[in-house]
Structure formats: C-alpha cells, structure tokens
Amino acid sequence: MIFAVTQYYKHSNNNIVLNTRLTKSGWGYDIYVKGKLFITQDNIPSIIGNKAFKTEEDAKKIGNLMVLKMKQNQIPNITEQELDSCNITR
C-alpha cells in the first residue's frame, strides 16, 4: 500500500494543494491531490488526544510540511520533533 501511495505522489507532484480551515475546536487543514480530497487533518498529528491546532499559522506550518514531504515522494507523517521544531503550540 505504501508503494502505491508513493507512486501516486510522484505523478501528482505539482497538483497538491493545502487549504487551512476553522474547526469546532481550533484549526485544521485539508490536502487535495488533483482536485480530490486526499488528507483531512482536524487534530495535531503525533500527539496523544484530539487537540486541534490553536492557530491557522500552526495548521499551515504542518500542512505545508506534509505537502513538502509528498512532493519529495516521502510518506507524509509528522513526528513530535517536527512539531517542536515548528514551534507548534499544543
């Protein structure tokens, strides 16, 4: 499955779009590939619990990191270290 997803990114490199949005409890983001919803993220990834991003800027930082990883044909997971380096408020 991972191989198939990676190949999909490869062919969609220039068609990846990030949209931030307000959620019930804060901010989240959606990532579209070729105009279709591919990832929806309402909570801060890699932390325990369901906590939304506190600011649109925080959601945008992590969303852009996900998009960058996808464009580099990497699996778009986020680590706690990456959250720390992006100064994401939890």
Supply the pLDDT for residue 90.
81
Contact 83, 46 (CB under 8 A): yes
Classify residue 19: in a domain, yes or no. Answer: yes
For the chain, the domain total comes to 1
Classify residue 43: in a domain, yes or no. Answer: yes
In percent, how much of the chain has pLDDT > 90? Answer: 81
CA distances from 66 to 9, 24, 74, 76 (A): 12, 22, 9, 5
pTM for the full model?
Answer: 0.84
What rounded mean pLDDT belongs to the chain?
88
Classify residue 60: in a domain, yes or no. Answer: yes
Classify residue 64: in a domain, yes or no. Answer: yes
pLDDT tens for each residue of 52-61 = 999 999 999 9
Classify residue 81: in a domain, yes or no. Answer: yes
Average pLDDT in the 19-47 region? Answer: 96
Range of the domain at 11: 2-85
The residue among 89 and 24 whose pLDDT is bigger is 24
